[in-house]
Structure 1
Amino acid sequence: MKYLPILFLAFLISCKPSENKLTAQQVIDKAIISSGSDKVGNSEINFEFRDKKYIANRKPNGSFKLTRKYKDEKLGFISDILSNDGFRRLVNGVPYQVNDSISNILSNSVNSVHYFSVLPFGLNDKAVIKKLLPSATVKGKEYYKVQVTFSENGGGEDFEDVFIYWIGKQDFLVDYLAYSYHTNDGGKRFRAINKEVLKNGIRFVNYDNYKPLNKEISLTDIDKAFEKNELKKLSEINLENIEVQILE
């Protein structure tokens, strides 16, 4: 009987939840908390990206207003605004009519920049489908790999796109992401962190943007291709002059 406490202790240890047994949902939930993205849904965020000004206003009730502002040499000052009410364009402060096809392109363009700027915020949207892939080690750091796809209902026009996020096993931060897309003949992209900054407790990340030298490289193996220098750097995704206000 004197061995019973030891056996009982061993039983408790064996029943303790393991970090390696986290679900995709649990990994994403931890990533959102670790990056401060849980604050994004109650904030106003301003930043500049490629000579354009972006403003995002989000509230806990789900209302949002995503704006892009810039000056066009021909038209003047342009504001593209995406909100719960849809998309609209202002030119010099006056509503400007655009046809539906152009409106969809502009809307997707505005949404894409705002979406990527605050990741992993948004990965718990109803249309998101998450799947845990086998873990990986990149540059000596261990990562969970979470694949994200979208349901056709609510997933937008690009619902067929596939994303993979590399989330650190110790810090639960997204350092790499990759995606495949079908527009413009399709392709794959891989983004690797080059800088991070905290603003009011929210983590923002700048990335180097790559594409595979060989189109046959699979999206799930693109991290291996990155370590083998089989990717070509295309550009940098840099957010500048970031300002964050947490709303009351």
Structure 2
Amino acid sequence: MKNISIFLLAVLFMACKSETDTPELIGDVIINKAIDASGVDVLKNAKVSFDFRGTQYLANRNNGQFVLARVFLSDTNDSIFDVLSNDGFERFVNDEKVQLPDTLIAKYTPSVNSVHYFSVLPYGLNNKAVNKFLIGKEIIKNTNYHKVKVTFDEEGGGEDFEDVFIYWINSETYNIEYLAYSYAESDGQGLRFREAYNARNIEGVKIVDYNNYKPNDESVELKSLGKLFESGQLQLLSKIELENVEIDLIDNL
């Protein structure tokens, strides 16, 4: 009887271990640690503003309600105010709302959302529509990283739910120091690799800029971009630099 009890305990232990050690559950734990390390969780109740390439961006998030906006002058010196919220996309020209065709709404919505999305990563990666998988470990520039793949469910995953991301997360600090992603293009799939730099702390939130790279050969696999970066086989396209960043935490008490 004693031997049977020991056997049952051993089986139970192995079952629990295999269940909790799945790549998806481990990936979820690592991403949550990255969110904690970055301090971005406070942004669920905050106002954020910054300038990027001559355009001002404004974000207001409050317990699931959000307003993501950009403000700029057109070539004809008109004031353009684009707003993406829980209610959809709207454009105002010189303070007057204008009606846009669906084709333009489909074009402008991701262009507003993507800048806001990248500006506060890893904020939002603990949403229900986000799937996280540990796909291995990798060394870049003599530093050890957890390599986590992120995909999105169609329901709740946004306009670009088919995009795939890989995050290289420092195994000691849990900072996201590199990321890569694939996105749909009219003639196939595009690939990008970003290197974080100029990390600074604003109201407890870690804000970074990026060097933005592309592979010389677009047919390579997304997961290979870390190694290609280290071997100098990526082309620097641009710098993603946020200026005049301000964060105002909302007091809900």
- Whether the TM-score (by the shorter chain) exceeds 0.5 is yes
Q: Single out whichever of 179-188 and 235-244 deviates more from structure 2.
A: 179-188
Tell me by how many angstroms 1:21 deviates. 11
Residue 80 of structure 1: CA displacement?
Answer: 0.2
Are the counterparts in 2 of residues 217 and 225 from structure 1 also a CA contact under 8 Å?
A: no
* Aligned residue number for residue 48 of structure 1: 51
Percent identity, aligned pairs only? 45
Question: Cα deviations across residues 11-59 of structure 1 (Å, max 9, x unaligned)?
Answer: xxxx9x99x9971011011110110011111110000001000000001
* Aligned-partner Cα distance in 1 for 2:81–2:141: 41
Structure-1 residue corresponding to 2:103 = 101
The secondary structure found in structure 1 opposite 2:97 is strand
Name the counterpart of 1:112. 114
| Aligned position for 2:138 | 136
Q: Does 1:211 align with 2:214?
A: yes
How far 1:194 moved relative to its partner?
Answer: 2.4
Q: CA deviation at 1:184?
A: 3.4
Unmatched runs of 5 consecutive residues or more in structure 2: 1-16
TM-score for both structures, normalised by structure 2: 0.87
**What's the CA shift for 1:86?**
0.8
Partner of 1:170: 172
Q: 1:81: Cα distance to partner?
A: 0.2
- Given candidates 112, 125, 128, the residue that maps to 2:127 is 125
Are 2:42 and 1:35 aligned?
no
The separation in 2 between residues aligned to 1:126 and 1:135, in whole angstroms, is 25
CA distance in 2, matches of 1:87, 1:75: 22
Measure how far apart 1:75 and its partner are: 5.8
Q: Which amino acid aligns with 2:134?
A: L
User: Which one-letter code corresponds to 2:250 in the other structure?
Assistant: L
Question: Runs of 5+ in structure 1 lacking a partner?
Answer: 1-14
**Distance between the aligned counterparts of 2:87 and 2:141, measured in 1?**
44
Q: Is the contact between residue 150 and residue 165 of structure 2 (CA under 8 Å) also seen in structure 1?
A: yes
The CA RMSD measured in Å over matched residues stands at: 1.9
* 1:181 partner SS: strand
Aligned length: 231
**TM superposition outliers: structure 1 runs of 4+ over 6 Å:** none
TM-score by length of 1: 0.89
Aligned runs of 1:1-248 on 2, under 5 Å?
A: 23-60=26-63, 62-74=64-76, 76-185=78-187, 186-248=189-251
CA change 1:200–1:175 in 2 (3 A) is: same
